[in-house]
Structure 1
Amino acid sequence: MSNSQGQGHEGDSSNQSPEGTMERILQVMGEMRDNQTLMMGRIYGIERQQNESQVQVGMMVEKAEKQLALKLLMAKGGSSW
């Protein structure tokens, strides 16, 4: 009974054997795993870019702080020393 149900008007898979259906399921699972791996790679890449950006911003802030400190020292030094 259950075999005849799969033989109707269900589209592409209607004339596949159970083995073919299992192969298709395994293929889809493999594609999903591949997609997940790609997504994880993209997420890793985005995180790495964020970390690099944070380092660059940190360096820019540090440089600006040093320049400001130097200007303050020069301004202070010019008037009081």
Structure 2
Amino acid sequence: MSVEQCPHLSNADLAVLRVRTPRLRGVSGTAYQLTVDGWQTYETDVMLPYGHQGLKAVLASRTVRELRNVTAIDLPKGS
């Protein structure tokens, strides 16, 4: 359905995957630290798993998902 409705996908080389075990693992973003001058960035593009103590001071920009039991499949004809 996505390939049919999105013009950007219809002209692209695609890898279609069937994922049997997707797991949300954490987030990626910018880590901050509270200093005497206020909040300061100290690391960009850090990846922290859910439950990590430092997660409280991260401005997340992406969700990190682990894909297991992955199989590459062909799109049905007409896609």
Same fold (TM over 0.5): no
More strand by share: 2
Structure with higher RCO (Cα < 8 A, 6+ apart): 2
TM-score of the two chains, using structure 2 as the length reference: 0.22
* Structure number with larger C-alpha Rg: 1
More helix by share: 1
TM-score of the two chains, using structure 1 as the length reference: 0.21
